[in-house]
A = this chain, B = another copy of it.
Amino acid sequence: MSGTIDELLMIPGPTDISGEVLKEMSSKTVAHYGEDWTEYYNETRSLIKNILHTDNDLFLFVGSGHAAIDASLGSLLEEGDEVLVLSNGIFGNKLARISRLHKAEVTVLEKEWGKAFNPGRVDNFLKESQKDFKAMLMVDVETSTGIRNPVRELAEVAQKHDLISFVDGVCSIGVEEFYMDEWNIDFCVTASQKGLGAPPGLAIVCLNDRIWQAIDDRNSEIRGWYLNLKIMKEFEEKQKGWQPYGITMAVHNVMALKKALELIEKEGLKNRIKRHRESAEFFRKSIRELGLEVLAEEKHACSAVTAVKNPEGFDSSFIIDRLQENNIRIGNGLGEFAGDYIRVGHMNQGAARVSLYPVISVLEEILEKRKKSKNGIV
């Protein structure tokens, strides 16, 4: 926002995105309804469905990822519903908190931060549990630690126990493989500004018929209007072909998202996922070569973000400040890891050596300076 040198934005979202996408943001305003617009809007939704590998219903909300989570959980859950939340980070805890605010009875299965859930153990927990859970809620990529939970296998466990599976895919969709239908994931959410490579502003909710059935089976009405999936469906059906929602859509954000999705299609989803995986692997390898520790266990490390333990004697703000002096912006650890870890996002433009080298180089400089200073050279 100021200064002569543009900042390299390597936080875990929003991230630097393509100039082509940004250009769409300054398009002339168009009406948020009409046949042409609806076709354009539906094409946008189809492109997202391609990434999710699904034929399910998909809605865009003007909102952040939290809006998508709140719309989903508020539409699904009612007073007294038992839900199981798998939590190994801030965003797992968030699922629990939001469920409670919708009056559900929440059981949290906790796992050490930085470690992924073991589907066999979750299966065992469910076998022994006396509770009649309605749904199992989990985070795909936990932005606070940089691990990816095995959502495919966890959704299988949920299915085996006849639970609805809900996946928070805010930080994973677009950079990790995700086969919603094949993996029997009933409900998933994401947002525009992470793996999809668009500016923040749009939240995405995708759900199958099992969820519609569960919503129809509710004993009480869904609270509120804006984040109410039943009302979304009502407009979708009533105003199909003209304005498949009841609000003023953030048209510029949709145009930018569509461009971002077209760029994903152009790159090829598989190529994009590979680029992100390889960039993340390269980053973790480089970090370890510097003698630093990555929080995530390697086999569950994700492609979107890496949490790095600060070198002894340095707190996060010191490292963040040194990077910022070099026009690089990274994130602090979250929750219990604030101060002791830094987090580097490597999505979109960030998933490339041209963006990763500067981060690694500054970290190297910090460590070398310390070494020299310890040796009494500086």
Q: Please judge, given known A-B contacts A9-B31, A224-B70, A329-B31, whether A64 and B247 are in contact too, CB under 8 Å.
A: yes
Are B22 and A224 in contact, with the CB atoms below 8 A? no
Are A64 and B62 in contact, with the CB atoms below 8 A? yes
0/1 per residue, A96-128, Cβ < 8 Å to B? 011001110000000000000000000000000
Are A28 and B22 in contact, with the CB atoms below 8 A? yes
Q: 12 new A-B pairs (CB below 8 Å) besides A22-B29, A65-B247?
A: A1-B30, A2-B36, A25-B25, A25-B26, A62-B64, A64-B249, A74-B224, A98-B224, A101-B223, A191-B248, A201-B252, A252-B253
Are B102 and A223 in contact, with the CB atoms below 8 A? yes
Within 8 Å of chain B (Cβ to Cβ): is A40?
Answer: yes
Complex Cα distance, B36 from A70, in Å, reads 29
Stretch binding the partner chain, chosen from A225-233, A352-360, A368-376: A225-233
Within 8 Å of chain B (Cβ to Cβ): is A333?
Answer: no
Are A200 and B251 in contact, with the CB atoms below 8 A? yes
Q: How many copies of this chain are found per oligomer?
A: 2
Are A14 and B29 in contact, with the CB atoms below 8 A? yes
Pick the contact of A248: B6, B101, B200 (CB < 8 A): B200
A residues 48-77 in Cβ contact with B at 8 Å: 61-67, 69-71, 74
0/1 per residue, A197-228, Cβ < 8 Å to B? 00111000000000000000000011111111
Are B101 and A225 in contact, with the CB atoms below 8 A? yes
- Chain B residues with Cβ below 8 Å from A94 are 225
Q: Please judge, given known A-B contacts A1-B37, A70-B224, A224-B74, whether A199 and B251 are in contact too, CB under 8 Å.
A: yes
Complex Cα distance, B31 from A293, in Å, reads 25
Considering residues A6, A37, A193, which has the most beta carbons from chain B within 10 angstroms of its beta carbon?
Answer: A193
Pick the contact of A200: B11, B62, B69, B98 (CB < 8 A): B62
Within 8 Å of chain B (Cβ to Cβ): is A339?
Answer: no
Are A199 and B74 in contact, with the CB atoms below 8 A? no
Q: Please judge, given known A-B contacts A29-B15, A29-B17, whether A63 and B74 are in contact too, CB under 8 Å.
A: no
Within 8 Å of chain B (Cβ to Cβ): is A367?
Answer: no
Interface of A is mostly: loop
- Chain B residues with Cβ below 8 Å from A63 are 61-63, 67, 226
Considering residues A6, A17, A63, which has the most beta carbons from chain B within 10 angstroms of its beta carbon?
Answer: A63
- Chain B residues with Cβ below 8 Å from A193 are 29, 248
- Chain B residues with Cβ below 8 Å from A37 are 1
Within 8 Å of chain B (Cβ to Cβ): is A27?
Answer: yes
- Chain B residues with Cβ below 8 Å from A150 are none
Chosen A-B contacts, 19 in total, with CB atoms closer than 8 Å, are A1-B27, A14-B29, A16-B28, A22-B29, A26-B26, A31-B329, A61-B63, A65-B247, A70-B224, A70-B227, A101-B224, A101-B228, A102-B223, A199-B250, A199-B251, A200-B248, A200-B251, A223-B223, A253-B253
Are B1 and A249 in contact, with the CB atoms below 8 A? no
- Chain B residues with Cβ below 8 Å from A17 are 29
Complex Cα distance, B143 from A248, in Å, reads 13
Complex Cα distance, B103 from A62, in Å, reads 24
Within 8 Å of chain B (Cβ to Cβ): is A13?
Answer: yes
Complex Cα distance, B236 from A200, in Å, reads 20
Are B62 and A223 in contact, with the CB atoms below 8 A? no
Within 8 Å of chain B (Cβ to Cβ): is A32?
Answer: yes
- Chain B residues with Cβ below 8 Å from A288 are none
Are B225 and A224 in contact, with the CB atoms below 8 A? no
- Chain B residues with Cβ below 8 Å from A246 are 66
A228 nearest in chain B by CB position: B101
